[in-house]
Amino acid sequence: MYSHVTEYIAENMSKYVEFMDNNYPPGYTYQDFARDFTAEFYNPDDWAELFQSSGAKYVVLTSKHHEGYTLWPSAVSFSWNSVDVGPHRDLLGELANSIRSKTDLKFGVYHSLMDWFHPLYLRDKFTLFTEQMFVKQKSIPELHELVNAYNPEVIWSDGDWEAPDSYWTAKEFLAWLYNDSPVKDTVVVNDRWGSGIPCKHGGYYTCTDRYNPGDLFYMC
């Protein structure tokens, strides 16, 4: 099994390895870029003031995109988060505090369910998502951290399309979110919780990227 996984990873990584070999010193990895991410000009108070003056009603920050780097000190993203490497700051928490202390905006988080290059995700993908090691050890724990630590009022889920909602345990997470979580009475979520789910289920619809519905959506 593991030999096949290794071959699968190598095949999908080859084009990225070639680019790195042609443009960076030997042994330079994607993770090496993180140390140059200093966020030196990041001032969440200024952001909050700008958002408030713009007339916005809510803010959604990308807490983690598909490459897996988290903007908070996630316990399941050791050495690949904004506190352990890079700016050494909880960028998500700082903005949450500024928004809540200086504005009346709602605070939300974007979170990618997948990690493009995480070995456990690639392993699960190789098994056609019949195994859930990545979900159990990475994706769902991250979502629980976000909810328990930052109390978002909006969750924009993404990175779901390669696997069904049963793989992501979406129903189980949402049941906890709406029944037992600290934001159960205030949170809303979008519709990206598994292949075939977008534009069908969710507190608000995002459908596909650059989707134009033609008319305004009305949600109950």
Residue 34 Cα distances to 72, 80, 113, angstroms:
14, 8, 21
Q: Is residue 21 part of a domain?
A: yes
Do the domain assignments include residue 205?
no
Which contiguous run of DSSP H or E holds residue 173? helix 170-179
For residue range 102-158, list pLDDT tens digits in order.
Answer: 999 999 999 999 999 899 999 999 999 999 999 999 999 999 999 999 999 999 999
The pTM for the full model equals 0.87
* Mean pLDDT of the residues in the chain: 92
Q: What residues are paired with 111 via a beta bridge?
A: 64, 157
pLDDT digits (tens, 9 = 90+) for 149-204: 999 999 999 999 999 999 999 999 999 999 999 999 999 999 999 999 999 999 99
Separation of alpha carbons 60 and 88, rounded Å: 21
State which amino acid sits at residue 128: L
- Split at pLDDT 50, 70, 90, the class of 220 is very low
Which structural domain range is residue 175 located in?
Answer: 2-189
List pLDDT tens digits, range 8-25: 666 667 887 788 889 999
In a domain, 108, yes or no: yes
Q: How many domains does the chain have?
A: 1
Has residue 203 been placed in a domain? no
CA pair distance 80, 114, nearest whole angstrom = 15
- The domain that holds 153 is classified in CATH as 3.20.20.80
Four-point Cα dihedral 107, 113, 114, 118, nearest 10? 80
Helices (H), 69-164: 91-102, 119-126, 133-134, 140-150
